[in-house]
Amino acid sequence: MIKIAARIERSALAGAGWAALAALALVAPASAQQRDPAYAAARASGQVGEKVDGYLGFPSAPSAEVRRLADDINIKRKAVYAERAQANGATIEEYAFSAGCQAIARTVAGEKYQAPDGSWQTRTAAAPLRDPRCP
């Protein structure tokens, strides 16, 4: 009986932890990526998309300019994730994953995102396919 109660308590804490990370992740990418015209164009044209790991990826082979732009944004995202993960007792990977869940949820019709199976999808009016572990 004590083991069951301990498991339930750990599950409740884990759920609360994911919820807290999800709430914090809502603001992380915004500060790391001001939508300059080059980034907005790359995103709108499907040259970059949101990955499940919280970073930008490339649905097709990018130009050198688009790669540099995405790499710069990803470096900034990682710095934000590291800072916020440390402040909240999480790993960078946990925080980045939660941020990725939220970034995919915020995509709009026409933008690219990575589905849980790793394939690249184009967002429609329907909700995006998200990892079942997303909070």
Task: Answer whether residue 129 is part of any domain.
Answer: no
Task: Answer whether residue 11 is part of any domain.
Answer: yes
**Predicted pLDDT at 73:** 96
Rounded to 5°, the CA angle 83-34-134 comes to: 55
For residue 114, give its domain range: 2-122
3-state secondary structure of 9: helix
DSSP state of 127: P
Rounded to 5°, the CA angle 48-109-27 comes to: 65
Number of domains into which the chain is organized: 1
Task: Answer whether residue 100 is part of any domain.
Answer: yes
Task: Answer whether residue 54 is part of any domain.
Answer: yes
* Tally of CB atoms within 10 A around 71: 13
Task: Answer whether residue 128 is part of any domain.
Answer: no
Task: Answer whether residue 56 is part of any domain.
Answer: yes
**Predicted pLDDT at 69:** 96
pTM of the shown model = 0.75
pLDDT tens string, the chain, 135 residues long: the values are 443 333 334 344 444 444 444 444 444 444 334 568 999 999 999 999 999 999 999 999 999 999 999 999 999 999 999 999 999 999 999 999 999 999 999 999 999 999 999 999 999 999 999 999 998
Contact 77, 33 (CB under 8 A): yes
Q: Which two tokens stand for residue 52?
A: 């499940």
